[in-house]
Amino acid sequence: MLVGDAAGLVDLYRGVGMDNAALSGRLAVKAITKAEEEGLEAAKTYENLMKKVVRKIEVNAKRQMKRLSSNNELEKNLSPLNMLKGGLHILIANQINKILPPEKLIFLP
Protein backbone atom coordinates (compact mmCIF):
# COMPACT_ATOMS: atom_id res chain seq x y z
CA MET A 1 0.00 0.00 0.00
CA LEU A 2 1.38 3.36 -0.99
CA VAL A 3 0.55 6.56 0.87
CA GLY A 4 1.23 10.28 0.43
CA ASP A 5 3.68 11.41 -2.21
CA ALA A 6 4.71 7.80 -2.91
CA ALA A 7 1.11 7.18 -4.01
CA GLY A 8 1.10 10.31 -6.20
CA LEU A 9 -1.34 12.12 -3.92
CA VAL A 10 0.01 15.67 -4.31
CA ASP A 11 -2.89 17.80 -5.43
CA LEU A 12 -1.37 20.26 -7.89
CA TYR A 13 -4.59 22.22 -8.27
CA ARG A 14 -4.62 23.07 -4.57
CA GLY A 15 -0.81 23.06 -4.41
CA VAL A 16 -0.63 20.80 -1.34
CA GLY A 17 0.16 17.23 -0.40
CA MET A 18 0.35 17.04 3.38
CA ASP A 19 -3.38 16.60 3.93
CA ASN A 20 -3.66 13.69 1.50
CA ALA A 21 -0.46 12.18 2.94
CA ALA A 22 -1.90 12.27 6.46
CA LEU A 23 -5.32 11.02 5.38
CA SER A 24 -3.94 8.17 3.25
CA GLY A 25 -1.69 7.09 6.15
CA ARG A 26 -4.70 7.04 8.43
CA LEU A 27 -6.79 5.11 5.93
CA ALA A 28 -3.98 2.59 5.33
CA VAL A 29 -3.92 1.81 9.05
CA LYS A 30 -7.71 1.56 9.06
CA ALA A 31 -7.62 -0.80 6.07
CA ILE A 32 -5.07 -3.10 7.74
CA THR A 33 -7.07 -3.19 10.98
CA LYS A 34 -10.35 -3.81 9.16
CA ALA A 35 -8.79 -6.49 6.97
CA GLU A 36 -7.41 -8.31 10.01
CA GLU A 37 -10.69 -8.14 11.87
CA GLU A 38 -12.89 -9.19 8.95
CA GLY A 39 -10.49 -11.47 7.06
CA LEU A 40 -10.38 -9.20 4.01
CA GLU A 41 -7.56 -8.24 1.67
CA ALA A 42 -5.93 -5.11 3.11
CA ALA A 43 -4.96 -3.62 -0.29
CA LYS A 44 -8.52 -4.01 -1.60
CA THR A 45 -9.97 -2.46 1.56
CA TYR A 46 -7.50 0.42 1.24
CA GLU A 47 -8.48 0.91 -2.41
CA ASN A 48 -12.13 1.22 -1.38
CA LEU A 49 -11.40 3.62 1.47
CA MET A 50 -9.29 5.78 -0.86
CA LYS A 51 -11.82 6.09 -3.68
CA LYS A 52 -13.03 9.56 -2.66
CA VAL A 53 -9.49 10.93 -2.29
CA VAL A 54 -8.40 9.57 -5.68
CA ARG A 55 -11.55 10.88 -7.36
CA LYS A 56 -10.94 14.34 -5.92
CA ILE A 57 -7.36 14.40 -7.25
CA GLU A 58 -8.60 13.35 -10.68
CA VAL A 59 -11.27 16.07 -10.72
CA ASN A 60 -8.73 18.66 -9.55
CA ALA A 61 -6.23 17.56 -12.22
CA LYS A 62 -8.85 18.39 -14.84
CA ARG A 63 -9.49 21.76 -13.21
CA GLN A 64 -5.76 22.43 -13.24
CA MET A 65 -5.55 21.62 -16.96
CA LYS A 66 -8.40 24.03 -17.65
CA ARG A 67 -6.86 26.74 -15.45
CA LEU A 68 -3.55 26.55 -17.32
CA SER A 69 -5.07 26.14 -20.77
CA SER A 70 -4.61 29.82 -21.68
CA ASN A 71 -3.54 33.14 -20.22
CA ASN A 72 -7.17 34.29 -20.21
CA GLU A 73 -8.29 31.22 -18.32
CA LEU A 74 -5.54 31.69 -15.73
CA GLU A 75 -6.37 35.37 -15.33
CA LYS A 76 -10.07 34.55 -14.92
CA ASN A 77 -9.20 31.90 -12.35
CA LEU A 78 -7.10 34.30 -10.29
CA SER A 79 -9.51 37.24 -10.54
CA PRO A 80 -10.17 39.31 -7.38
CA LEU A 81 -13.72 37.91 -7.21
CA ASN A 82 -12.45 34.32 -7.27
CA MET A 83 -9.81 35.19 -4.66
CA LEU A 84 -12.55 36.66 -2.45
CA LYS A 85 -14.72 33.56 -2.92
CA GLY A 86 -11.71 31.36 -2.06
CA GLY A 87 -10.96 33.42 1.05
CA LEU A 88 -14.54 33.17 2.29
CA HIS A 89 -14.56 29.44 1.62
CA ILE A 90 -11.40 29.00 3.73
CA LEU A 91 -12.81 31.16 6.51
CA ILE A 92 -16.04 29.15 6.75
CA ALA A 93 -14.51 25.71 6.14
CA ASN A 94 -11.90 26.39 8.83
CA GLN A 95 -14.63 26.88 11.41
CA ILE A 96 -16.58 23.81 10.26
CA ASN A 97 -13.39 21.69 10.35
CA LYS A 98 -13.11 22.35 14.08
CA ILE A 99 -16.07 20.06 14.69
CA LEU A 100 -15.53 17.46 11.96
CA PRO A 101 -13.78 14.11 12.52
CA PRO A 102 -10.32 13.81 10.82
CA GLU A 103 -11.55 11.71 7.91
CA LYS A 104 -14.33 14.16 7.06
CA LEU A 105 -12.29 17.37 7.08
CA ILE A 106 -12.90 19.83 4.25
CA PHE A 107 -9.57 20.12 2.43
CA LEU A 108 -8.21 23.62 1.87
CA PRO A 109 -7.61 25.84 0.02
Ligand X SMILES: Cc1cc2nc3c(=O)[nH]c(=O)nc-3n(C[C@H](O)[C@H](O)[C@H](O)COP(=O)(O)OP(=O)(O)OC[C@H]3O[C@@H](n4cnc5c(N)ncnc54)[C@H](O)[C@@H]3O)c2cc1C
- Judged by the rule CB under 6 A, the positions of this chain that interact with ligand X are 4-6, 10, 16-19, 21
Among residues 6, 8, 16, which one has the least CA distance to residue 107? 16
Measured from the CB atom, is 40 or 78 closer to ligand X?
78
HSE of 15, CA atoms in CB hemisphere, 13 A: 1
Query: Taking each helix axis from N to C terminus, what angle separates 18-38 and 51-67, rounded to the nearest 10 degrees?
Result: 160
Measured from the CB atom, is 5 or 73 closer to ligand X?
5
Measured from the CB atom, is 21 or 43 closer to ligand X?
21
Beta carbon of residue 18, minimum distance to ligand X (angstroms, whole number)? 3
Beta carbon of residue 24, minimum distance to ligand X (angstroms, whole number)? 8
Burial degree of 45 (CB within 10 A; 0-12, 13-18, 19+): buried
Beta carbon of residue 21, minimum distance to ligand X (angstroms, whole number)? 3
